[in-house]
Amino acid sequence: MINKLLLKLSMGQKIVALIVSVSMVSILIAIAGLSINEYRAAQQRMTKEISVISDVLADNITAAVVFNDTQSAQTLLDALQTNDMVEYAKVTDELGQSFVDFGNSEFSDESVVDDMGYYAIKTPLYIDDKRAGELILVVNNTQIKESIRVYLTVVVAVIFISLVFSFVLSLWVQRRFATPIIELATLASEISDSGDYSKRTQTVASGEIALLQDVFNDMLAKTNDREMALEALVAERTRDLEALNKQLENQAYYDNLTKLPNRALYEDRLKQSIAAANRDNTKVALMFIDLDKFKDINDTYGHAAGDELLCQVGQRLEKQCRAMDSVARIGGDEFTMLFMLEDGDDASEIARRIIDVFQVPFNILDRPMLMTMSLGVAIYPTHGQDFDVLKARADAAMYQAKQSGRNQFLIYQ
């Protein structure tokens, strides 16, 4: 039938029919490929964005779950208000009980999520290889639908313009018409295969063909800009969450004033030191330090001087530590030090060296200030098996040293 129809057409009509047919088929195939690729790309972009948000949020929120800090956890979830895709978020503890949540609570029912055609992304929370809970994000598919709707609108417009203009203009520019259309179809196929939306077709024709090429390039430009904008947004949010994670970590484990480890981190290091001591059959010395008459510094020179003194005390104590030792500020003018006692190490000599270091005045606000300390020592495993017992006995020894005249140390008896 087709052959009979072609026999009735003139050469010019055959060329027009051939050019129009080949051009339109090529464009339809290319656009079909782009449409499929756009749909998959939209799904991948959504999945990538939500996965990044979920992973980074899980890293940040784990500490809050472990420390039972519902306020920090809720603050992190509330930040999801800026993301239109997230309908509901929930954090559970290690027992599966709800810890905090955000959004429409009806989506806590998985059957509702399935009925709505939404996605539930579950990310387990781990700390030290121990499951601490789970982060659940329920996201909608609005972004994909909107992206496909806009894309299909552009596709329909491109198909319509291509059909009308190619037919009209091919009547008198038959041979000139074929080349740019074929180039356009080839580029579209390449983009469909590679997913590289930065490619462009060069406008070498005029009139409607040039318009078609411009529309095609504009579509590619918008698609490329959207991908770049999404990548930039994800990168920015990742940086913000990393900064927040670092800030939360510092607040959880370090003293804000001296930047030394706080009690929580110090206890963890003590546990590690005790484990190492048990393994190597060695001992650990815990030293509790209280500055003598520190209150007089605050009362006489002000809190700025007191804060500066605490910082310099921390720096001076830190210099007395080896890589395997540690110093921490646990509050006020109280410091603790941790020393691994290897063969030949003597806790008394270490304590005496620290006392002697404080015989050199500090330079506080351009004033020389002499600050002494009272120091108590408790030794693992001789005086206790855990932080609280060792601290209590080192504390008792420190107070005995203070009552005996200050500026000295005592080992718990």
Comparison of pLDDT for 308 and 248, the residue scoring more: 308
Q: Are 226 and 148 in contact (CB under 8 A)?
A: no
Specify the range with the lowest mean pLDDT, choosing from 62-66, 237-241, 337-341, 356-360. Answer: 237-241
For residue 282, is pLDDT > 70? yes
For residue 201, is pLDDT > 70? yes
Average pLDDT of the residues in 34-51: 75
**Which helix (DSSP H) or strand (DSSP E) does residue 176 occupy?**
helix 174-194
Give the single-character DSSP code of 361. P
Average pLDDT of the residues in 162-169: 70
Average pLDDT of the residues in 327-355: 91
Q: How far apart are CA 61 and CA 254, in angstroms?
A: 18
Comparison of pLDDT for 200 and 320, the residue scoring more: 320
In sequence order, the β-bridge partners of residue 133 are 93, 125
User: Band of the pLDDT at 48, cuts 50, 70, 90?
Assistant: confident
User: Band of the pLDDT at 374, cuts 50, 70, 90?
Assistant: very high
For residue 335, is pLDDT > 60? yes
pLDDT digits (tens, 9 = 90+) for 250-261: 567 888 899 999
Q: How far apart are CA 242 and CA 59, in angstroms?
A: 9
Specify the range with the lowest mean pLDDT, choosing from 205-209, 305-309, 327-331, 409-413. Answer: 205-209
For residue 286, is pLDDT > 90? yes
User: Band of the pLDDT at 342, cuts 50, 70, 90?
Assistant: confident
Q: How far apart are CA 124 and CA 115, in angstroms?
A: 24
Does the N-terminal peptide bond of residue 381 adopt cis geometry, omega within 30 degrees of 0?
yes
Predicted confidence at residue 243, as pLDDT, reads 61
Average pLDDT of the residues in 370-378: 94
171 token code pair: 């009547």
For residue 204, is pLDDT > 70? no
Q: How far apart are CA 158 and CA 251, in angstroms?
A: 56
User: Band of the pLDDT at 231, cuts 50, 70, 90?
Assistant: confident
In sequence order, the β-bridge partners of residue 337 are 287, 327
Helix axes 142-169, 174-194, angle to 10 degrees: 160
**Which helix (DSSP H) or strand (DSSP E) does residue 93 occupy?**
strand 86-93
Average pLDDT of the residues in 332-352: 91
**Which helix (DSSP H) or strand (DSSP E) does residue 413 occupy?**
none
For residue 158, is pLDDT > 80? no
Percent of residues, the chain, with pLDDT higher than 90: 25
Predicted confidence at residue 9, as pLDDT, reads 62
